Amino acid sequence: MIIALDGPSASGKGTLARHLAKALNLAYLDTGMIYRALAARLLEAGSDPADSEAARRAARVLTVADLERPGLRREEVGQTASVVAAIPEVRAALLELQRQFAMRPPDGTAGAVLDGRDIGTVVCPQADVKLFVTASAEARAARRHKELLDRGEPSIYARVVQEMEARDARDSAREVAPLKPAPNALILDTSEMDEEAVFAAAMRIVAARTPSSPAQGPQSPD
């Protein structure tokens, strides 16, 4: 089974993906962390994130193990990741890494769940289930603002909203693999939903799309 979760940042897709992976015995890949790992490499090397050749070289040697690098959740890394993710050569270099994970997940798992911006449209267009997880910019900014404060990082809500909208525009307007729902994806708006409600809704969708799956109805994500 392959489940593709796409959507903007702070929409809740990462939390949902982890819950689905645990409930359905699936391997989980946060593809956004791949681009964050690449961004961290470039920042540490003092390279210009907009330098497509430097970014491509770094992307070609990136592995899943790089996702364990410290500091990948820093806001600076996230903003840089959005810049390098818009470079066509970078996306091409990292595409095979993501597809290999989906098609050959770790032993003992029943498949894979991947979340990102273009999983259902580009990385895994053959996915069994495709969800586009979204929420209002205000709701997503409030979540990110709280997340930053909880980590002890300074945050101003108005600035988070501004950065969120700028990142959405950049991700949606890029020429290669723009952020958009796959034609056969179901839209899941999490603006007014808590984690358990989102998980329950997703489990119902999985059960309906894959009758042979072990999803027999919503279970607690815990």
What's the whole-model pTM score? 0.82
Which of 6, 11, 5, 2 is closest to 135 using CA atoms? 11
pLDDT of residue 215: 46
**CA distance linking residue 41 with residue 60, whole number of Å:** 12
| C-alpha separations of 116 from 51, 85, 94, 212 in Å | 23, 11, 13, 25
- Yes or no: say if 161 and 138 are a contact pair by the CB < 8 Å rule: yes
Beta carbons of 33 and 211 less than 8 angstroms apart: no
Cβ–Cβ < 8 Å for 54, 62: no
One digit per residue, pLDDT tens: the chain, 222 residues?
999 999 998 899 999 999 999 999 999 999 989 999 999 999 999 999 889 999 999 999 998 889 999 899 888 898 899 889 889 889 888 998 999 999 999 878 999 999 998 999 999 999 999 999 999 988 999 998 998 888 888 888 988 888 888 888 888 887 777 889 999 999 999 999 999 999 999 999 999 987 665 544 444 454
Beta bridge partners of 47: none
Contacts with 199 (C-beta within 8 Å, 6 or more apart), sequence order: 16, 19, 20, 23, 218, 221
Q: Could you give the CA distance from residue 181 to residue 154 in angstroms, rounded to a whole number? A: 33
What would be the CATH architecture of the domain defined by 2-209? 3-Layer(aba) Sandwich (3.40)
Nearest-10 Cα torsion for 18, 203, 112, 69: -10
Closest CA to 218 of 47, 24, 25: 24
**Residues 156-202: tens digit of each pLDDT:** 898 888 888 888 888 888 777 788 999 999 999 999 999 999 999 99
159: three-class secondary structure by DSSP: helix
Handedness of CA 112, 117, 123, 128 (dihedral sign): positive
Residue (of 89, 119, 86) closest to 101 by Cα position: 119
Domain boundaries, the chain: 2-209
